[in-house]
Homo-oligomer: A and B are copies of this chain.
Amino acid sequence: MSNSSPLSTRSNAASDLATPSLSTPESISLTPTNKREQILWGAMQIFLHHGYASTSMDRVAAEAGVSKQTIYSHFQDKEGLFTALIERVTIDRLQSELPAQPFQGEPVVVMRRLAETFLAKMDDPEYLAFIRLVIAESARFPELAQLYGKTVLQYAYSSLGAYFEQHPELQIADAEATARIFFGTLSSFVLAQELLQGKHTMPMAKDRLINSLLHCILRNVV
Protein backbone atom coordinates (compact mmCIF):
# COMPACT_ATOMS: atom_id res chain seq x y z
CA MET A 1 0.00 0.00 0.00
CA SER A 2 2.76 2.40 -0.91
CA ASN A 3 1.86 5.99 -1.60
CA SER A 4 4.40 6.40 -4.38
CA SER A 5 2.36 4.77 -7.10
CA PRO A 6 3.36 5.05 -10.75
CA LEU A 7 -0.33 5.10 -11.54
CA SER A 8 -1.00 7.85 -9.04
CA THR A 9 -4.06 9.89 -9.79
CA ARG A 10 -2.63 12.66 -7.63
CA SER A 11 -0.42 14.44 -10.08
CA ASN A 12 -1.29 17.99 -9.07
CA ALA A 13 0.63 20.22 -6.69
CA ALA A 14 -1.66 19.67 -3.71
CA SER A 15 -1.26 15.92 -3.83
CA ASP A 16 0.42 15.62 -0.44
CA LEU A 17 -2.77 16.84 1.21
CA ALA A 18 -4.33 13.53 0.28
CA THR A 19 -2.08 11.50 2.54
CA PRO A 20 -4.14 10.35 5.52
CA SER A 21 -1.18 10.24 7.87
CA LEU A 22 -0.65 13.96 7.37
CA SER A 23 -4.18 14.46 8.68
CA THR A 24 -6.51 16.83 6.92
CA PRO A 25 -8.18 18.86 9.67
CA GLU A 26 -11.47 20.47 8.79
CA SER A 27 -9.96 23.89 9.57
CA ILE A 28 -8.07 23.67 6.33
CA SER A 29 -10.51 24.24 3.53
CA LEU A 30 -9.88 21.54 0.99
CA THR A 31 -11.34 22.19 -2.40
CA PRO A 32 -13.82 19.57 -3.62
CA THR A 33 -11.33 18.66 -6.31
CA ASN A 34 -8.80 17.52 -3.75
CA LYS A 35 -11.31 15.41 -1.86
CA ARG A 36 -12.27 13.83 -5.13
CA GLU A 37 -8.63 13.05 -5.87
CA GLN A 38 -8.25 11.62 -2.40
CA ILE A 39 -11.18 9.28 -2.95
CA LEU A 40 -9.94 8.22 -6.37
CA TRP A 41 -6.53 7.44 -4.93
CA GLY A 42 -8.03 5.28 -2.19
CA ALA A 43 -10.33 3.59 -4.68
CA MET A 44 -7.40 2.73 -6.90
CA GLN A 45 -5.57 0.94 -4.08
CA ILE A 46 -8.55 -1.26 -3.29
CA PHE A 47 -10.01 -1.87 -6.74
CA LEU A 48 -6.65 -2.76 -8.26
CA HIS A 49 -5.80 -5.30 -5.59
CA HIS A 50 -9.22 -6.86 -4.99
CA GLY A 51 -11.24 -6.39 -8.18
CA TYR A 52 -14.61 -4.72 -8.60
CA ALA A 53 -17.01 -7.07 -6.82
CA SER A 54 -14.71 -7.78 -3.86
CA THR A 55 -14.14 -4.10 -3.19
CA SER A 56 -16.39 -2.60 -0.53
CA MET A 57 -17.19 1.06 -0.26
CA ASP A 58 -16.24 0.84 3.42
CA ARG A 59 -12.69 -0.19 2.57
CA VAL A 60 -12.40 2.52 -0.04
CA ALA A 61 -13.57 5.07 2.51
CA ALA A 62 -11.07 3.82 5.07
CA GLU A 63 -8.21 3.78 2.56
CA ALA A 64 -9.07 7.27 1.33
CA GLY A 65 -9.46 8.59 4.87
CA VAL A 66 -13.00 9.86 4.32
CA SER A 67 -16.43 8.70 5.35
CA LYS A 68 -18.59 6.59 3.11
CA GLN A 69 -21.15 9.32 2.66
CA THR A 70 -18.45 11.63 1.33
CA ILE A 71 -17.85 9.18 -1.47
CA TYR A 72 -21.53 9.17 -2.32
CA SER A 73 -21.56 12.97 -2.43
CA HIS A 74 -18.87 12.93 -5.13
CA PHE A 75 -19.92 9.85 -7.07
CA GLN A 76 -23.36 8.48 -7.81
CA ASP A 77 -22.67 4.91 -6.74
CA LYS A 78 -20.05 2.17 -6.82
CA GLU A 79 -20.26 1.84 -10.59
CA GLY A 80 -19.83 5.58 -11.01
CA LEU A 81 -16.74 5.59 -8.82
CA PHE A 82 -15.26 2.64 -10.68
CA THR A 83 -15.97 4.19 -14.07
CA ALA A 84 -14.39 7.49 -13.06
CA LEU A 85 -11.32 5.68 -11.77
CA ILE A 86 -10.72 3.56 -14.88
CA GLU A 87 -11.29 6.55 -17.17
CA ARG A 88 -8.84 8.60 -15.16
CA VAL A 89 -6.09 5.98 -15.12
CA THR A 90 -6.58 5.28 -18.83
CA ILE A 91 -6.11 8.94 -19.71
CA ASP A 92 -3.08 9.19 -17.42
CA ARG A 93 -1.61 6.14 -19.07
CA LEU A 94 -2.11 7.51 -22.56
CA GLN A 95 -0.47 10.80 -21.68
CA SER A 96 2.51 9.00 -20.19
CA GLU A 97 3.00 7.25 -23.54
CA LEU A 98 2.95 10.44 -25.58
CA PRO A 99 6.41 11.95 -25.04
CA ALA A 100 8.23 8.68 -24.47
CA GLN A 101 8.54 7.56 -28.07
CA PRO A 102 11.15 9.52 -29.97
CA PHE A 103 11.38 7.21 -32.99
CA GLN A 104 14.73 8.75 -33.90
CA GLY A 105 17.86 6.91 -35.01
CA GLU A 106 18.63 3.65 -36.77
CA PRO A 107 15.49 1.49 -37.11
CA VAL A 108 17.11 -1.43 -35.32
CA VAL A 109 18.07 0.78 -32.40
CA VAL A 110 14.68 2.49 -32.34
CA MET A 111 12.77 -0.75 -32.41
CA ARG A 112 14.86 -2.42 -29.72
CA ARG A 113 14.57 0.58 -27.45
CA LEU A 114 10.82 0.69 -28.09
CA ALA A 115 10.49 -2.99 -27.17
CA GLU A 116 12.53 -2.64 -24.01
CA THR A 117 10.66 0.49 -22.92
CA PHE A 118 7.32 -1.19 -23.56
CA LEU A 119 8.27 -4.27 -21.55
CA ALA A 120 9.63 -2.16 -18.72
CA LYS A 121 6.39 -0.17 -18.48
CA MET A 122 4.19 -3.26 -18.56
CA ASP A 123 6.23 -5.08 -15.94
CA ASP A 124 5.08 -2.64 -13.26
CA PRO A 125 2.89 -4.55 -10.77
CA GLU A 126 0.33 -1.76 -10.53
CA TYR A 127 -0.03 -1.44 -14.26
CA LEU A 128 -0.42 -5.21 -14.54
CA ALA A 129 -3.14 -5.03 -11.90
CA PHE A 130 -4.82 -2.31 -13.94
CA ILE A 131 -4.72 -4.38 -17.14
CA ARG A 132 -6.04 -7.38 -15.25
CA LEU A 133 -8.87 -5.28 -13.85
CA VAL A 134 -9.89 -3.89 -17.26
CA ILE A 135 -9.91 -7.40 -18.73
CA ALA A 136 -11.67 -8.85 -15.70
CA GLU A 137 -14.51 -6.31 -15.93
CA SER A 138 -14.73 -6.23 -19.72
CA ALA A 139 -18.06 -8.04 -19.54
CA ARG A 140 -19.61 -5.84 -16.84
CA PHE A 141 -18.07 -2.62 -18.20
CA PRO A 142 -17.51 -3.13 -21.93
CA GLU A 143 -17.38 0.63 -22.52
CA LEU A 144 -14.35 0.91 -20.22
CA ALA A 145 -12.56 -1.91 -21.99
CA GLN A 146 -13.39 -0.19 -25.26
CA LEU A 147 -12.02 3.10 -23.95
CA TYR A 148 -8.72 1.50 -23.05
CA GLY A 149 -8.51 -0.26 -26.39
CA LYS A 150 -9.31 2.71 -28.57
CA THR A 151 -6.98 5.06 -26.70
CA VAL A 152 -3.89 3.21 -25.50
CA LEU A 153 -3.82 0.32 -27.97
CA GLN A 154 -4.99 2.38 -30.92
CA TYR A 155 -2.33 5.00 -30.19
CA ALA A 156 0.41 2.39 -30.01
CA TYR A 157 -0.64 0.70 -33.25
CA SER A 158 -1.01 4.00 -35.11
CA SER A 159 2.32 5.41 -33.95
CA LEU A 160 4.36 2.39 -34.90
CA GLY A 161 2.36 1.92 -38.11
CA ALA A 162 3.10 5.50 -39.15
CA TYR A 163 6.77 4.93 -38.41
CA PHE A 164 6.81 1.86 -40.65
CA GLU A 165 5.15 3.77 -43.48
CA GLN A 166 7.75 6.53 -43.20
CA HIS A 167 10.51 3.96 -43.64
CA PRO A 168 9.88 2.11 -46.91
CA GLU A 169 13.40 0.67 -46.78
CA LEU A 170 12.12 -1.70 -44.11
CA GLN A 171 9.92 -3.29 -46.80
CA ILE A 172 6.97 -3.81 -44.49
CA ALA A 173 3.95 -4.74 -46.58
CA ASP A 174 1.21 -4.10 -44.00
CA ALA A 175 2.24 -1.45 -41.48
CA GLU A 176 -0.68 -1.71 -39.07
CA ALA A 177 -0.73 -5.51 -39.06
CA THR A 178 3.00 -5.58 -38.40
CA ALA A 179 2.57 -3.09 -35.57
CA ARG A 180 0.04 -5.47 -34.04
CA ILE A 181 2.53 -8.33 -34.33
CA PHE A 182 5.09 -6.22 -32.50
CA PHE A 183 2.95 -5.08 -29.58
CA GLY A 184 0.87 -8.26 -29.51
CA THR A 185 3.96 -10.42 -29.09
CA LEU A 186 5.33 -8.24 -26.29
CA SER A 187 2.07 -7.78 -24.39
CA SER A 188 1.11 -11.44 -24.52
CA PHE A 189 4.61 -12.29 -23.31
CA VAL A 190 4.10 -10.17 -20.20
CA LEU A 191 0.63 -11.59 -19.68
CA ALA A 192 1.90 -15.16 -19.96
CA GLN A 193 4.98 -14.63 -17.79
CA GLU A 194 3.49 -12.40 -15.09
CA LEU A 195 -0.27 -12.92 -14.85
CA LEU A 196 -0.24 -16.60 -15.86
CA GLN A 197 2.91 -17.21 -13.78
CA GLY A 198 4.86 -18.44 -16.79
CA LYS A 199 8.08 -17.01 -15.35
CA HIS A 200 8.01 -19.88 -12.86
CA THR A 201 7.05 -22.72 -15.19
CA MET A 202 8.42 -21.69 -18.58
CA PRO A 203 10.98 -18.93 -18.06
CA MET A 204 12.42 -17.08 -21.02
CA ALA A 205 14.73 -14.08 -21.12
CA LYS A 206 13.27 -10.93 -22.62
CA ASP A 207 16.24 -10.54 -24.95
CA ARG A 208 15.54 -13.85 -26.61
CA LEU A 209 12.03 -12.76 -27.52
CA ILE A 210 13.12 -9.29 -28.60
CA ASN A 211 15.90 -10.67 -30.75
CA SER A 212 13.59 -13.05 -32.58
CA LEU A 213 10.93 -10.38 -32.93
CA LEU A 214 13.31 -7.85 -34.47
CA HIS A 215 14.74 -10.63 -36.62
CA CYS A 216 11.25 -11.35 -37.98
CA ILE A 217 10.07 -7.80 -38.59
CA LEU A 218 13.34 -6.18 -39.70
CA ARG A 219 14.49 -9.14 -41.75
CA ASN A 220 16.03 -6.93 -44.45
CA VAL A 221 17.97 -4.86 -41.96
CA VAL A 222 19.18 -7.14 -39.21
Residues on A facing B (Cβ under 8 Å) = 49, 51-54, 129, 132, 134-140, 142, 145-146, 148-150, 153-154, 157, 173-174, 176-178, 180-181, 183-189, 191-192, 195-198, 200-202, 204, 208-209, 211-213, 215-217, 219
What is the CA–CA distance of A191 and B132 in the complex, to the nearest angstrom? 12
13 A–B contact pairs at CB < 8 A? A51-B51, A51-B53, A135-B191, A138-B197, A145-B197, A154-B201, A154-B202, A173-B212, A176-B208, A181-B212, A184-B188, A184-B192, A216-B216
Q: Known pairs A135-B195, A136-B137, A181-B181. 19 more at Cβ < 8 A?
A: A51-B51, A51-B53, A51-B140, A52-B53, A132-B135, A132-B136, A135-B191, A142-B197, A149-B192, A153-B198, A173-B215, A177-B209, A177-B213, A180-B189, A180-B204, A181-B185, A181-B212, A184-B188, A216-B217
Which residues does chain B contribute within 8 Å of A195, judged by CB atoms? 135, 138, 145
Known contacts A132-B136, A138-B195, A146 near B209 by CB under 8 Å: no
Among B157, B187, B216, contact of A178 (Cβ-Cβ < 8 Å): B216
B177 lies within 8 A of A211 (CB): yes
Q: Is the interface of A mostly helix, strand, loop or mixed?
A: helix
Instruction: Tell me how many chains of this kind the complex includes.
Output: 2
Which residues does chain B contribute within 8 Å of A145, judged by CB atoms? 195-197
Which residues does chain B contribute within 8 Å of A174, judged by CB atoms? 208, 211-212
B153 lies within 8 A of A213 (CB): no
Which residues does chain B contribute within 8 Å of A140, judged by CB atoms? 51
A139 lies within 8 A of B149 (CB): no
Among B139, B146, B201, contact of A200 (Cβ-Cβ < 8 Å): B146
What is the CA–CA distance of A205 and B214 in the complex, to the nearest angstrom? 24
A209 lies within 8 A of B180 (CB): yes
A153 lies within 8 A of B217 (CB): no
Which residues does chain B contribute within 8 Å of A177, judged by CB atoms? 204, 208-209, 211-213
Which residues does chain B contribute within 8 Å of A137, judged by CB atoms? 136
B129 lies within 8 A of A139 (CB): yes
Q: Which residue of B lies closest to A131 (CB)?
A: B135
What is the CA–CA distance of A137 and B186 in the complex, to the nearest angstrom? 22
